[in-house]
Structure 1
Amino acid sequence: MLRNYFKIAWRTLSKQRGLTFINIVGLATGLACCLLITLYVLDELSYDRYNTKADRIYRIHTDIKFGGNDMHFAVSPDPVGQTLKQDYPQVEQFVRLHQRGTWLVKRAGSTNILREDNIHFADSTLFDVFTLPLIAGDPKRALAGPNLVVISESASKRHFGDQNPIGQTLLFNNRQAFKVTGVMRDMPANSHFRSNFFLSMASDDYTWGQWLSNNHHTYIVLREGTDYRAFERNFDAVIEKYVGPQAYDMIGATLEQFRKAGNRYRFWLIPLTDIHLYSKQQVELEPNSDIQYVYIFSAVALFILLIACINFMNLATARSANRAKEVGVRKVLGSERQQLIGQFMAESVLMTVLAMALALVLVGMALPFFNTLAAKTLSARNLLSPYLLPVLIILPIVVGLLAGSYPAFFLSSFRPVSVLKGRIDVSFRSSRLRSGLVVFQFMMSVVLMVGTLIVYRQISYIQTKNLGFSREQVLTVNDVYAIGKQAETFKQEVLRLPGVVSGSISGYLPTPSSRSDNAFFPEGEINQTKAVNMQSWGVDHDYINTMGMQMAEGRNFSREFGSDSSALILNETAAKLFGGRNIIGKRITQYADPEAKTTKTYTVIGVVRNFHFESLRQNIGALSMVLSPNTGAASFRLSTTNIPFLVRQIEGIWRHIAPGQPFAYSFLANDFENMYRAEQRIGTIALTFAVLAILIACLGLFGLATFMAEQRTKEIGVRKVLGASVTSIIALMSRDFLRLVLIAILIATPIAWWAMRQWLQDFAYKIDIEWWIFALAGVLAIGIALLTVSFQSIKAALMNPVKSLRAE
């Protein structure tokens, strides 16, 4: 019986090639989109789960509200991990990471210097916490001492080729030697951080024991059965015992007084497997994703699949007139309803199996493009994983049964007498369900269009907003510390080049990569009520001019004033926190060393207009600038259109002054835009799937229009004989569809408004959701529907009425 079902199904599908093609292509496209998004979502959810102790590893976060600043850090004080392990038996192990970013690295005795990123100092307990298999070396002793380093497999190949690196020496920044004690496998891509070099923490030049400084990413492993929420209650006692005394020494206030003043200091834990999707802290090891995008794309996958299934149901029921007599004859000959349902279900399942086969081909073809869009390394082999392989087998059957259920029950319910007498009404207007499904299709299409338009408008707003500095044509040369005292010589040589307007040497740039928070007080008023917590940047005399910043009050640093070595420039936010009025000349004190209680006092000489030095998700915080040597980078403002030639000239000067040192540069505009690379990717992916969703919906609409034209052939012929124009006939045939699209637009508008309003809440600086966005999406939806329907409408309207009536 089952074999007979599929045999008849194959014959039926072969006869109706046009309908079959539309259905299979629509289903295949929907399934392919669903599979691609499933791969993306599963990859997002898999982050850090390769660690064998992943369910027991937690990172300690620090939230501080103090001095007019509300900070949420992914880092914590250096002693907190060791203290928790000593004082609480629930803590099995801990490890700290101190991120060092990018350094110059070379093998001892070699002249080949490479610029390496992803460098971290780590405790010797690193391999007790994270699952990082060593190819060579002892994990217990690999980092148990000063000047030791564990390198990744790929880093080993870059520096040592096929040689055994164990026992060899690497030089970092041309001065500090580290002995290679281990080689680990490259960290998986689905990790919230990746490192190529782990330097022993004992080698870090750091003042230890600072409970008021947050510079280390600290992870703890809790013992089996420990509730981390319950364990967090211990943090109040830890803060009281260890943080309180240092805070009192610094600001002269107890923790109770500190809290009563509206301040806050707290630790909390986040599970390792939640970091990638749920952590939105400052000073992350690497940019994270957002669980919102997982929800959004999961919904998009479901909607696209539903749209494809709706196409099938609509077309199957719409074509029922052509099979009504078949059903009637079968029933007269003794077929039971269950047999007819089985027949139609078999046709549906066969179609979805064919669609799944085509979908797998489409996924294989689209995956390289999708990986580029999503910045992923997904492979078609992932579809054969133990999680997805059963889905590939079950999904076409489930989809086939769901998509074919209504047509099967609808067609099998026809009464033989009524069918054979031609009394079945299957016109377009007779099916409320079919109309509702069309409305649903276009409602989701409009929501996707509105969402895509708003995402792109927000990204455009970010890219064009006045940031308070000029990021265009600013070239940044990195690793200037490599040339030591010749940094100023390099700057002066570059300034002599035509096309170079100004230059500055400072590692602090108006991007989130630069951060140094300190507490400042009005002179003689070191207490918590007067404190201002702000970033402190070391810059040179030319920094403000080179960055294109504007002074709001006072003056810039000047070489004519020797006293500027103790001068301070505030941004407008900081000036306001210090009282705002009469700020010029005010003396402000900073703790140079909180542990030693040494202070330094500065005189305010100017106020720079606020500029964005962090993401536009955050409000502009307080910031100060002091004259202080910082050779992290050299920035140059250019005024030439021949940028490549000028860059080659600058590189030539670098090669002359620093032979053998790698020349690395970037443009400030690109560095700023990189902060929003994730949003740009999401916008592009959303646009792609929105277009595909609309395409799938249009396939169904095209099929319905074809059916409608066939059903109304006689009516159109009569109307033309009676004098109806082509335009009136096209309008007649399009009216029913346009009514449904308009209803879809009305339903989609509030849904899209609410969803995008929620998404924009993450940005402190955002666009307004304007009415014309919804109007444009509506016009696009109507235009697309008209274009889809018009082909068949025009074809029907232009048909010779004599032929139409004769055929009838």
Structure 2
Amino acid sequence: MQLTNDHIDYIIKDLQYRGIVVDGIEEEMIDHICSAVEVEMKHSVRFIDAYHHVLKSFGHTSGLLATQKQILQEENHKAKNMLRNYIIIGLRNLRKQGFYSFINIAGLAIGVSACLIIMLFIIDELQYDTFNTKADRIYRVHNEIKFGGNYMHLASSSAPTAHTLLQDYPEIQAAVRFRSYGSYLVKSEDGAINIKEQNVIWTDSSFFNIFSVPVLEGNAALALKDPGCIAISKRTADKYFPNTSAIGKTLILDNKYSTKVTIVYEDIPEASHFHFDILIPMVGDWPVAQEAQSTAYMSNNFQTYILVKENTDAKQLETKLAGFIETHVGPQIAQVLGNDFTMEKFRAAGNIYEITLMPLLDIHLKSHQLGEFENNGNITYIYLFATIAAFILIIACINFMNMSTARSANRAKEVGVRKVMGSLRSHLIRQFLTESTLITIFSFFIALGISALLLPIFNSLALKDLHLPWSDPLFYGTLLVAALVIGLMAGVYPSFFLSAFKPAHVLKGNISLGMKSGLIRSALVVFQFVISIFLIVGAITVNQQLNYIQNKNLGFEKDQVIIVQDAYALRPNVQSFKDEVLRMTSIESGSISGYLPVEGTYRNDNVFWREGNAAVAENMVSLQNWSVDVDYVKTMGMKIKKGRAFSSDFPSDSSAVILNEAGVIQFGLGDDPIGKRISHFSGQKPDGSPDPSQVKSRTVIGVVENFHFSSMKESISALGLFMNSSDGFVSFRFKASNAQEVINDIEKIWKRVAPDQPFQYSFLNDDFGRMYSAEQRLGKILGTFATLAIIIACLGLFALTAFTTEQRTKEIGIRKVLGASVSSIVMLLSREFGKLVIIAFVLASPIAWYSVNWWLQNYAYKTEIGIVVYILAGITALLIATLTISYQSIRAATSDPVKSLKNE
């Protein structure tokens, strides 16, 4: 006869009345007395008589209180010995159940390792530009412009913006400008061969006052103030002047600028959004210095940074900057477009001209404007990776709980014996928590080893140089605290679950499992596979978009084109170099131009309008104008839709233009644009602004098919090809032959024409692919983490399968005795878990669908992600789960039923 709930409530209240109220001891006493009363009642004794008989054996109230006191004294006296005992027993259990301990530790180690690597990545990304001591007061000036069919977010502003902001707004303490002209060929005064330097910038003398870049040699107060002087980084100084001071030495840029080193500064940290190695002052008679003196507000070629005074409200300052547009920009636009122009009319027509401030610490992760110095990170990916890290760690902890409870049947009798021998439930809870903590500590040690092995691979994927901070005590302290917290959190449920077994039941083989429906365990497995399916869909989507980009009709032929860089080093022999290479039988055509249909090459835009229309805002089109030679269209493999390409047979082509299809539409030239003309301002005022009195018209001689000249995140805008000189690159289309032989032959000609200049080349398809390097890295990283999540989820599924088969051993034995086949038993066990994966698929699909569509919104041209992708992800997860389940299912189905039924 068993106790009812009323009986148990009576015992609890009576013991509390008698003074048994100490936490832990109270539960053990109630558990012990209830078990003893049940034993008495099985001999047909009434409940109340059985209860009083048990109380008598304790000595009634005084005996109970004495027992409680004795237990408390022993607890306090044996605490240290008990802890040592817990550790010894925990190690024995790990060794005894080696296979399951290995799976448990491996699952946690993989999860912790993945989480650790992701956190190193996130910490590195969040530390960008924090080396600047005034970082919280530094802002970059941005321009947002929508006009003439173009919508631009610029990380740059005009030449006079910095000075004018300092003059008009007392909240601004200092300002500095940068002007980039790309790479330079550099050599020392006695050097024979040039070296290509990418990180060269023109700047103001206030650079060292705003950015925290230590000066190693030279006078920082006098830096960048004199014409012809430069500042260089330590690595640049070591490169050109090894084992000697660089101060006072000469560097020659592009074979024409002779400069003297006056400052050597510490290398700019890796975690910076720029990495300048050579700083050139914008003073003197050099063309850049003259451009820096311009007072034109409509040409945005300078990156401008400001340092605001302490306690300045940047948002309030940004609001005031609307007056900057009204006071300085508006009047110059009015001079060009007519005196009836007002900014109110300009904005009413749907146009935008705004100036905003970007905090320095936000640039790396939140700024993706035109004119960035380097490719920035993405705050969205930080949130994504942080979520993935949390999910992977949660999955690993879930696995530990499932694995611990899966082995509970084997430890139930151990719990019963310990309780009969006098162990309190609190003892058992501490024992199981100690075991879980030991597992997490072992897992963390192994995770460190796994992380050290995987970091180089991750670094190559993410283009990082991450390292484990082995010498940082805080790192070890953080890991230890994390191990203890995770061990306690992961072990709470198993410890309370196992310690709750009643000795009278477990010693007879009747295990009270609690949560018999397994709802929580099933929910945990569903959660694991929801994340896994979501990551699979994400990885497939990224790769499909990349395939779409690579295979889409770009409007030009990117294959079999070699780009010879730094063509300006050939001056004045650029044309002769091209002509000599064209004599090679493997070369089909060649073109000289700095404008290529990939990002990172020359770009220039200006306003045009259809001839005959007034030069007002409503008629103007912001047109990309590219200077190309006569063979450009042929070499790039572009398709002429109407009219013709440039030809040396027509001298008048120097005043002609070839428009793309988008340009024809924006100018409203109709179905027959050939012969029609567009106009533009051809001169400048002394301040650098357009001169309305100087206008030139161009005749449309051809229409080229729209081609992608920027990322597919942007729509194709209006573009015109003009036959002008531009010698940044020389491009050659070659026949499908041995590419290395073609390179070697071109290099030989280069060395004859420019013997002291470095020969550098690339392939157009590779340059195009680098535009999407961030997406390629994202796809690889997502795929890696998806694989890890699935592996860890399968370990959890393995644990749940082990638990289920453990509990259904006798059922399986009976079914086999009654004639059930192995396949039917495997199907019986597998069907339950297959349902969980299907439920996970149903839950994951809408989440993945929303996320996929949100990510693809970044692209103006995107692939279609159909239902097949989601079904493929679900089938993949189901197949992996089935393989995981099959091991335990087949093992249980093929076991000898005699062994499982021998005790019945």
User: TM-score category by the smaller chain?
Assistant: over 0.9
Matching of residues 140-179 of structure 1 within 5 Å: 140-179=221-260
Residue 617 (1) aligns with residue 716 (2): no
> Which amino acid in 2 is paired with 1:293?
Y
Of residues 331, 342, 355, the one that matches 2:430 is 342
Give the TM-score, by structure 1 length. Answer: 0.97
What's the secondary structure of 2:176's corresponding residue? strand
**How far does residue 388 in structure 1 lie from its aligned partner after superposition?**
4.1
Matching of residues 751-766 of structure 1 within 5 Å: 751-766=847-862
Matching of residues 306-705 of structure 1 within 5 Å: 306-381=394-469, 385=472, 388-426=475-513, 430-513=517-600, 514-524=602-612, 525-581=614-670, 582-595=672-685, 597=691, 598-705=694-801
Q: Distance in 2 between matches of 1:22 and 1:299?
A: 24
Per-residue displacement from partner, 1:623-647 (whole Å, max 9, x unpaired)?
Answer: 1111111111000011132000111
What's the secondary structure of 1:101's corresponding residue? coil
State whether residues 539 and 779 of structure 2, in contact with CA within 8 Å, keep that contact through their aligned partners in structure 1: yes
Instruction: Give the aligned partner of residue 231 of structure 1.
Output: 317
Structure 1 residues 388 and 462: CA distance shift in structure 2, 3 A: farther
**How far does residue 806 in structure 1 lie from its aligned partner after superposition?**
4.3
Q: Distance in 2 between matches of 1:226 and 1:408?
A: 55
> Which amino acid in 2 is paired with 1:123?
D
Instruction: Give the aligned partner of residue 68 of structure 2.
Output: none
Instruction: Give the aligned partner of residue 56 of structure 1.
Output: 137
What's the secondary structure of 2:736's corresponding residue? coil
Structure 1 residues 387 and 763: CA distance shift in structure 2, 3 A: farther
Instruction: Give the aligned partner of residue 7 of structure 2.
Output: none
What's the secondary structure of 2:177's corresponding residue? strand
**How far does residue 620 in structure 1 lie from its aligned partner after superposition?**
0.6
State whether residues 427 and 708 of structure 1, in contact with CA within 8 Å, keep that contact through their aligned partners in structure 2: no
Q: Which moved more, 1:101-110 or 1:300-309?
A: 101-110
Per-residue displacement from partner, 1:469-506 (whole Å, max 9, x unpaired)?
Answer: 11001100011111112111111111111111110000
State whether residues 250 and 594 of structure 1, in contact with CA within 8 Å, keep that contact through their aligned partners in structure 2: no
Q: Distance in 2 between matches of 1:44 and 1:278?
A: 11
> Which amino acid in 2 is paired with 1:724?
A
Identity of aligned residues (%): 49
Q: Distance in 2 between matches of 1:144 and 1:763?
A: 45
Instruction: Give the aligned partner of residue 297 of structure 2.
Output: 211
Of residues 817, 838, 844, the one that matches 1:748 is 844
**How far does residue 570 in structure 1 lie from its aligned partner after superposition?**
1.1
> Which amino acid in 2 is paired with 1:540?
D
Q: Distance in 2 between matches of 1:543 and 1:123?
A: 38
**How far does residue 337 in structure 1 lie from its aligned partner after superposition?**
2.4
RMSD: 1.7
Of residues 818, 821, 835, the one that matches 1:725 is 821
Q: Distance in 2 between matches of 1:15 and 1:354?
A: 16
State whether residues 433 and 488 of structure 2, in contact with CA within 8 Å, keep that contact through their aligned partners in structure 1: yes
State whether residues 63 and 73 of structure 1, in contact with CA within 8 Å, keep that contact through their aligned partners in structure 2: yes
Q: Distance in 1 between matches of 2:660 and 2:120?
A: 46
Q: Distance in 2 between matches of 1:115 and 1:639?
A: 29
> Which amino acid in 1 is paired with 2:486?
V
Residue 26 (1) aligns with residue 116 (2): no
> Which amino acid in 2 is paired with 1:590?
H
What's the secondary structure of 2:183's corresponding residue? strand
Q: Which moved more, 1:33-42 or 1:127-136?
A: 127-136
Q: Distance in 1 between matches of 2:782 and 2:499?
A: 40
Structure 1 residues 807 and 285: CA distance shift in structure 2, 3 A: farther
State whether residues 119 and 197 of structure 1, in contact with CA within 8 Å, keep that contact through their aligned partners in structure 2: yes
Of residues 147, 169, 179, the one that matches 1:98 is 179
- Which structure 1 residue ranges, 5 or more long, are not aligned? none
Matching of residues 181-220 of structure 1 within 5 Å: 181-202=262-283, 203=286, 204-207=288-291, 208-220=294-306
> Which amino acid in 2 is paired with 1:418?
H
Q: Distance in 2 between matches of 1:328 and 1:594?
A: 95
Q: Distance in 2 between matches of 1:265 and 1:49?
A: 31
Q: Distance in 2 between matches of 1:358 and 1:375?
A: 25
Q: Distance in 2 between matches of 1:418 and 1:739?
A: 33
Instruction: Give the aligned partner of residue 265 of structure 1.
Output: 353
Residue 785 (1) aligns with residue 866 (2): no
Per-residue displacement from partner, 1:39-94 (whole Å, max 9, x unpaired)?
Answer: 00001111111111100000000001111111111111111111111121110111
Q: Distance in 1 between matches of 2:895 and 2:436?
A: 33
Q: Distance in 1 between matches of 2:336 and 2:902?
A: 99
Instruction: Give the aligned partner of residue 812 of structure 2.
Output: 716
Q: Number of aligned residue pairs: give it.
A: 807
> Which amino acid in 2 is paired with 1:595?
K
What's the secondary structure of 1:503's corresponding residue? strand
> Which amino acid in 1 is paired with 2:296?
Q
Per-residue displacement from partner, 1:14-42 (whole Å, max 9, x unpaired)?
Answer: 21111111110000110000000000000
What's the secondary structure of 2:775's corresponding residue? helix
State whether residues 318 and 428 of structure 1, in contact with CA within 8 Å, keep that contact through their aligned partners in structure 2: no
What's the secondary structure of 2:630's corresponding residue? coil
**How far does residue 200 in structure 1 lie from its aligned partner after superposition?**
0.9
Q: Distance in 2 between matches of 1:729 and 1:175?
A: 84
Q: Which moved more, 1:419-428 or 1:684-693?
A: 419-428
> Which amino acid in 2 is paired with 1:687?
G
Q: Distance in 2 between matches of 1:751 and 1:331?
A: 48
Q: Distance in 2 between matches of 1:206 and 1:690?
A: 55
